[in-house]
Chains A and B, each alone.
Chain A
Amino acid sequence: MDEDQSAEETTFVVEEITTVIKETVESTIGNNSYQHSKINQWTSNIVELSLSQLTKLGKPFKYIVTCIILQKNGAGLHTASSCFWDNSTDGSCTVRWENKTIYCIVSVFGLAI
């Protein structure tokens, strides 16, 4: 029984994390329009809240959370990531969120301890 529990806990569950991140972004930005003065605060909030929610999951993981907030102006954006890790235990997920004036991309990488 202990082994089953540890097996469940030591894998990176994408759905759970996606839900957590979406809620965080909604609660921070919601329907606000892009404001240059508040961007700093928004990104910090998103990232800190996400990280605290992730630690509340209680899994033996190290997390890296990256947040990109982009104003909708017709410009293009690409993001790519490459990782050197243990495929069986580590994983990542990316959440894309948008409203009328803002694009928000949050990436979470989880590395098993």
Chain B
Amino acid sequence: MANQPLPLSQETLAQFNRSMATEPGVSGPPRRRLGSISTRRSSKDQSKDQPHHRPLFLRGMTVISSESSFLSPNVSHSHISMGKRFSFAGWHQGGRVSFSGLYLQQPIQEVYVENTYRMGPEPGCHFSPSRTQQILQATLDSYLDGVCYSPDSCSQLCQMLADLVLSKLKDVNPPRYKLVCQVVVGQSGKQGIRVASRSLMNPNTDNYTSAVFQNHSLFAVALVHDQ
């Protein structure tokens, strides 16, 4: 029946309507086929798509989003168009296994992390000072351009900048690296100021970067150490 070259969504819709209305034996094959497709899909989920703990919805709509890549188009169309609960016949002839609206959750397996015995970062995974410097400079420029110094707001601004820089660098950071970020914001007066820093670190793996921004009323220095 499924071999007819009709618009497939309508074909399967018709089959469903028939299977809902009639006895199991009569439209056994199409229902069983549909049932078998559904169970095969869920087993495919378990092996391929969901190695971890995603809940399996067997109700119509939500199944599609995760499996449309390897489903036959007729089944997916039917599910989208149906949008209501339906029950599938199981593998056994004459037996009925209903999965409508059942929330199947994979058992959550705890991940035990073993000791890696790693003494240093992997060869390609070092901290990159130049890339960090670009990010720092871009952040300072974008946030401080045109800002006037004011004693009330600048403390908040300073803290916000420090947190912002940290969050941006966390994405770029290689794994297992620690970050220390310091931001100094001051009023541009006629005073002199000097910011110096030194660190005790492993020169093979650790590094630092800094960026400076200045406008007519304030200056900012951002310092990042990565260890």
- CB contacts (< 8 Å) of A55 on chain B: these are 200
Interface digits, B146-176 against A, CB 8 Å rule (1 contact, 0 not)?
A: 0001010011011101110110011001000
> Which residues of chain A (55-110) have a CB below 8 Å from chain B?
55, 61-86, 90, 92, 107, 109
Asked whether B3 is an interface residue with its Cβ less than 8 Å from the other chain, the reply is no
> Chain B CB within 10 Å — which of A40, A70, A82, A85 has the most?
A82
B95 within 8 A of A: no
Chain B facing A: main interface SS: mixed
The residue of chain B having its C-beta at the shortest distance from the C-beta of A48 within the complex is B198
A47 within 8 A of B: yes
- If A67-B195, A107-B182 touch, does A82 touch B162 (CB 8 Å cutoff)? yes
B108 at the binding interface (Cβ < 8 Å): no
Are B162 and A85 in contact (CB-based, < 8 A)? no
B34 within 8 A of A: no
In the complex, chain B residues whose CB is within 8 Å of the CB of A61: 200
- By the criterion CB–CB under 8 Å, are A66 and B189 in contact? no
Contact (Cβ within 8 A) A66 B197: yes
Give, as a whole number of angstroms, the nearest-CB distance from A7 to chain B.
20
Residues in B neighbouring A81, C-beta threshold 8 A? 162, 180-183
Q: A51 near B: Cβ within 8 Å? A: yes
Query: Is A43 an interface residue when CB atoms closer than 8 A count as contact?
Result: yes
Across the interface, do B179 and A79 meet the contact criterion of CB distance under 8 Å? no
Could you tell me if A62 and B166 are in contact, using CB atoms closer than 8 angstroms? no
Are the CB atoms of B197 and A65 closer together than 8 Å?
yes
Query: Of the candidates A42, A48, A82, A86, which one forms a contact with B165 in the assembled complex, judged by CB atoms under 8 Å apart?
Result: A82
Bound-complex Cα distance A92 to B182 (A): 12
CB distance from B197 to the nearest CB of A (A): 4
Task: Give B109-147 interface residues, CB cut-off 8 Å to A.
Answer: none
A67 touches B197 (CB 8 A): yes
Q: Is the C-beta of B178 less than 8 angstroms from some C-beta in chain A?
A: yes
| A36-55 vs B, Cβ < 8 Å mask (1 yes, 0 no) | 10011011101110110011
A83 and B200 contacting across the interface, CB-CB below 8 Å: no
A74 touches B185 (CB 8 A): no
Contact B151 A47 (CB under 8 A): no
Give which listed residue, B189, B194, B208, contacts A74 with CB less than 8 A.
B189
Residues in A neighbouring B195, C-beta threshold 8 A: 43, 66-68
For B161, the closest partner residue in chain A by CB is: A80
Knowing A62-B199, A83-B166, say if A78 contacts B191 (CB, 8 Å).
Answer: no
A111 contacts the other chain (Cβ, under 8 Å)? yes
Residues of A within 8 A of B (CB): 34, 36, 39-40, 42-44, 46-48, 50-51, 54-55, 61-86, 90, 92, 107, 109, 111
| A-B residue pairs in contact (CB < 8 Å), sample of 30 | A48-B198, A51-B198, A51-B200, A62-B200, A62-B202, A63-B199, A63-B200, A64-B180, A64-B199, A65-B199, A68-B195, A68-B196, A69-B193, A69-B196, A70-B193, A75-B186, A76-B149, A76-B186, A77-B184, A77-B193, A78-B186, A79-B183, A79-B184, A81-B181, A82-B159, A83-B180, A84-B169, A84-B173, A84-B179, A111-B178
